[in-house]
Every structure is written in structure tokens, then in C-alpha cells.
Amino acid sequence: MSDQPLVSTSEIARIFREEYGRTVAVLVRRFGDIDLAEEAVQDAFATAVQRWPFDGVPPSPAGWLITTARNRIIDRLRREASRDDRHALAAVMQSQSRDDLEEEEAVGDDRLRLMFTCCHPALALNAQVALTLRLLGGLTTEAIARAFLVPPATMAQRLVRAKGKIRDARIPYRVPQAADLPARLRGVLAVIYLIFNEGYTASSGERLTRDDLCAEAIRLGRQLNDLMAGEPEVMGLLALMLLIDARRPARTDADGELIPLAEQDRTLWDRAFIAEGTELVDLALSRGAVGEYQLQAAIAAVHDRAAAAADTDWAQILALYELLDRMTGNPIVTLNRAVAAAMANSPEAGLAVLDTVDESLAGHYRLDAVRAHLLELAGDTTAAQTHYRLAAERTTSAPERRFLALQAARLNAGAGDAA
């Protein structure tokens, strides 16, 4: 008999990333305690790491994890329960006798329900988004901290406080009534978009993208669009994700290395996604109330409509970014506006916009990467090399690091040839 494991640790880690949010969502619905659910899911995955290499992956990994984690919670409640509590616990156990298949069928609604629970208006918006990303997005505290431009320790404290407030305020675990949805919508939209962003450009690791997160964000976007039919910003977000995700097949080469937008083979873009996304954003913009996701989708549509990079209507993109920047004040938007200004007008115009970027982006690799690109366009290859190297040192994404280092090496080689 072979001593070779039936499944690798990396495969178990992949399943963990894909199933973590689902499993937590089911258990929070069942037991109403986020911390208890998270601890049990962590224990279940630890058990999987011990057993699956020798037993193989179960036919239904999600069902196995839900059942194992649920049993851990029940065992803990038994140990901690008083005699009177055990009668209540027995009733809970009896009500949870449905099989794993039935549990998995409830997952979709459970995830959206948990999202609306975490995005309760009693919590600050940044806490809503961060907590939901942690529970449902499969993102680490470090990845969430990078998205919010704060230290990991600060983000960890925010997460603890948010979960404590949900517990202490007894915020109900349910999809709210239609009248309550608008107060929670902003947080839910931000969560879905950040899940998509982490999938489209993973903040760390060897792979540029996480296809599972892109697919999950789009699935949640479709589900939310069904729930809130006709809401312009929901349509705008779904359109945005479809229009960006359409480019994913052309975004890396056969070795998984990054291909910038201007160099992509546009025949590989997903035309069905582009058609659907374009129709959605046009419909959303016709409703009159223009929001940030609709504007971003409109920008993505301009890119996707161009048959070649040279055909891109940069003047229109710049106008849309100027409006979006005034609306949001988001430093990443200002960064993108700088690129649009450089392409529509001149590299010097782009660099002038770049000098107005909020100081919260100081030291962020994207600021250095954009500055390097614009300096190169302006002909200052020496300064561009410096900023490409800084960007490469500061990113935690291996494909981006290699791409940025390659740009610096290319300019260095060009300088040597010129000498």
C-alpha cells in the first residue's frame, strides 16, 4: 500500500478558502454566535488536514465540514451546559437532524443573510465591510488591513469590536425587510466589490487571480440584483464586475505572468460578459440616480468597447474619473484619474494629478507603480526605474512583483544600450 497522501495540503487549503465563508454562514444561522462558528470551523479544517491526506476528500467537502464543525459546537455546549440547559440543547440537536445535502442547499441564502447581519447600520461602515470580508470573503486579517490601508493589529481590533457589538446588541441574523435594505446596502455593495477585487488581483501569493473569489462575488452580485431588482447601484456593481472579469482570460500568459491591459489579446475577452455588463450599466444610468459603481462600470465599458488599446476614448474616461473623484474622494480613484489624465492629455498632466493623491497612499506600491509608468511616458527613465523597484519591493503579490521588477530591468537595459 502506498504511503503517498491521497490529497495535498495545498488542495485542502484551496477547499478551506472556498468553503470557509459558506460553513461559517450555516453555523451562525444555526447557533447565532459568530465566534463560536469561526472556532468550530477552524477546528474542522484542522481535523481535515489530519484525516483527508489518508482518507481522501469526502464526496461533499462542504457537508463534511458543516457536520464536523456543528458536532464540535454541540460537544462544547454539552460540556458547558447546566442540567436545565441540556434539555434546550437536546431540542436544538433534534431540530438540526437534516442531512448534509439539505444543509448545503441552504448555503446561498445563508451567506447573503450573514452579509446583511454584518452590515447592520449599528456598526460603522468600515467595521461592517471588514467583518463581512473576514467571515464571507475568505480574506485574512492582513489582506483586509491592506485593503483599508491600516496596520493588521488595528484591523484585528476592529473585527473583535464589531463581533462584540453584534453579540451584545443581539443584532438578528436575518435578511431585513425591504424597508431596511437601503440602510445596509452601501456596506453590502462594498463587501461584494472588495471580494471581487481580491479575486481579480490577489493581494498576496503566487497567483495573480483567485478565480473562486471572482465567481463568488459575481454570484452574490446576481443574487443581490434579484433581491433588489431595479436598484441602480446594484445593477452598476454587477455590470462593473462582469465588464472587468471579461478580461480575465487575457490577463495572464501561459506561465501565469501578468499582461497589462494595453498588451492583452482582446479576442480572448468574454464577449457575453461584456454584452451583459454593457446592457446593465446602460439601464442603470438611465434611472437618473448616478452612483459610484455605475460610474466605474461606465469606465470599464469604455475600455471594453475599444477594439484595440489605441482606440480607447481616454477623454471620456478622464471625464468620468473626474466626476467619480469628486463623488468619492477615494485616493485610488485619484490614482486612476492621474493615469487617465496622462493618456488623454500628457504625462506631465498625469504627474500633476498624482501629486494631489491623499497621503494615506504614501508608501503604497500602487502609487510608486503609477508614478514609474508616468515618469517613463515623460522620458525620465532613471526616476521611473527607481519607482518600479520601490513598487516591486512593496507589493506582496508575487506576479506583480515580477512584472514590476521586469519593467525596472527593461529600463536599466535600455539605459545600458544607450550608453
What would the pLDDT profile of 406-419 be if each residue is shown by its tens digit? 999 999 887 656 54
- For residues 218 and 359, give the distance between their C-alpha atoms in angstroms, rounded to a whole number: 32
pLDDT given for residue 323 in this prediction? 97
SS3 sequence, 256-286? CCECCHHHCCHHHCCHHHHHHHHHHHHHHHC
Does residue 30 lie within any of the structural domains?
A: yes
Higher pLDDT, 92 or 304: 304
Does residue 124 lie within any of the structural domains?
A: no
Does residue 74 lie within any of the structural domains?
A: yes
Report the mean per-residue pLDDT for the chain.
85
List residues bridging with 397 in a β-sheet: 205
Mean pLDDT, rounded, for 199-223? 87
- pLDDT tens figures, 305-362: 999 999 999 999 999 999 999 999 999 999 999 999 999 999 999 999 999 998 888 8
Count CB-CB contacts under 10 A for residue 362.
10
Given pLDDT bands bounded at 50, 70 and 90, which one contains residue 100? very low
Does residue 369 lie within any of the structural domains?
A: no
Does residue 43 lie within any of the structural domains?
A: yes
Count CB-CB contacts under 10 A for residue 18.
17
Higher pLDDT, 124 or 174: 124
| 112, three cell numbers | 447573503
pLDDT given for residue 99 in this prediction? 42
pTM of the model: 0.80
Task: Please determine, for residue 105, whether its predicted confidence score (pLDDT) is greater than 70.
Answer: no
Does residue 65 lie within any of the structural domains?
A: yes
Does residue 75 lie within any of the structural domains?
A: yes
Does residue 400 lie within any of the structural domains?
A: no
Higher pLDDT, 97 or 65: 65
- For residues 317 and 335, give the distance between their C-alpha atoms in angstroms, rounded to a whole number: 13
Task: Please determine, for residue 258, whether its predicted confidence score (pLDDT) is greater than 80.
Answer: yes
pLDDT given for residue 106 in this prediction? 42
Contacts of 190 (CB under 8 A, 6+ apart): 125, 128, 129
Mean pLDDT, rounded, for 199-221? 87
Number of domains into which the chain is organized? 1
> Nearest 5°: phi and psi at 397?
-95, 120
pLDDT given for residue 408 in this prediction? 96
- For residues 404 and 333, give the distance between their C-alpha atoms in angstroms, rounded to a whole number: 21
SS3 sequence, the chain? CCCCCCCCHHHHHHHHHHHHHHHHHHHHHHHCCHHHHHHHHHHHHHHHHHHHHHHCCCCCHHHHHHHHHHHHHHHHHHHHCCHHHHHHHHHHHHHCCCCHHHHHHCHHHHHHHHHHHHCCCCCCHHHHHHHHHHHHCCCCHHHHHHHHCCCHHHHHHHHHHHHHHHHHCCCCCCCCCHHHHHHHHHHHHHHHHHHHHHHHCCCCECCCCCHHHHHHHHHHHHHHHHHCCCCHHHHHHHHHHHHHHCCHHHCECCCCCECCHHHCCHHHCCHHHHHHHHHHHHHHHCCCCCCHHHHHHHHHHHHHHCCCHHHCCHHHHHHHHHHHHHHHCCHHHHHHHHHHHHHHCCHHHHHHHHCCCCHHHCCCHHHHHHHHHHHHHCCCHHHHHHHHHHHHHHCCEHHHHHHHHHHHHHHHHHHHHHC
The domain that holds 64 is classified in CATH as 1.10.1740
How large a percentage of the chain has pLDDT more than 90?
Answer: 44
Task: Please determine, for residue 103, whether its predicted confidence score (pLDDT) is greater than 60.
Answer: no
pLDDT given for residue 3 in this prediction? 60
| 403, three cell numbers | 512584472
Please give the residue range of the domain that contains residue 52. 1-105
Residues in the chain: 419
List residues bridging with 205 in a β-sheet: 397
